Amino acid sequence: MKPFIPFVVVALIFSNIIAVQCLDVDLMLELCNIERKKAGVPPLSYNDDLGKVAQDHSKYMSQNDILTHDDPAGSLGTRFEKHGYSYSSAGENVAEGYDDEKSVMKGWMESPGHRANILKRSFKEAGFGKSGSYWTQDFGAGSGSGGKHSGKKVTDELSDTTDTTDKIVTKLSGKKNSKRRLEMTY
């Protein structure tokens, strides 16, 4: 009977780790579309290709403990193309240190650059990623092959600090060098 107890403890610990690293893409899409509706902007559709781009980027940031828009795969446009997403318009929001979808969305909406991406009328589709404490939203308008949402939650097995970012972090958290960070969009 004793070998069973450690197995249960390990299973409970593992299940908590997975739960912490789970992203509810339906909730994130709903939160984006609530904000877009308030602003009189048409809703976004979820795109699986953009979701893969966002998840891969979140995983890269988590593995390297860096908040950035670039990675070895290249810039946002290069990453879109690598995943087969053809686009006419593209944008990205990244963040680190937020506990859940609602808190990271609140942080993005309080930042003018991130808010602009969420509300940009030319963006028609979005994909989301989370790994550890790193979050990514990718937006596009294009002819990506995904265009559909699989209905699954995203799970993962497992600063670039400028004056502008410091001002936003200070505004959001009340202190510099907070665990909550946002990377400015471009």
Domain with 44 in it: what CATH number?
Answer: 3.40.33.10
Total of domains in the chain: 1
185 within 8 A of 92, measured Cβ to Cβ: yes
- Tell me which of 129 and 177 has the higher pLDDT: 129
Residue 70 is predicted with a pLDDT of 87
Q: Could you tell me the residue range of the domain that residue 91 belongs to?
A: 38-144+179-185
- What pTM does this model have? 0.71
Residue 55 is predicted with a pLDDT of 96
Does 107 have pLDDT greater than 90? yes
**Cα separation, 29 vs 34, whole angstroms:** 9
76: in domain: yes
Does 91 have pLDDT greater than 70? yes
23: in domain: no
**Cα separation, 18 vs 69, whole angstroms:** 25
4: in domain: no
Residue type, 178: S
Of 27-41, 123-137, 141-155, the least confident: 141-155
Distance set, CA 86 to CA 7, 51, 54, 120, 123 (Å): 47, 14, 15, 18, 13
In the predicted model, what is the mean pLDDT of residues 9-33? 67
Does 1 have pLDDT greater than 80? no
pLDDT confidence bin for 17, thresholds 50/70/90? very low
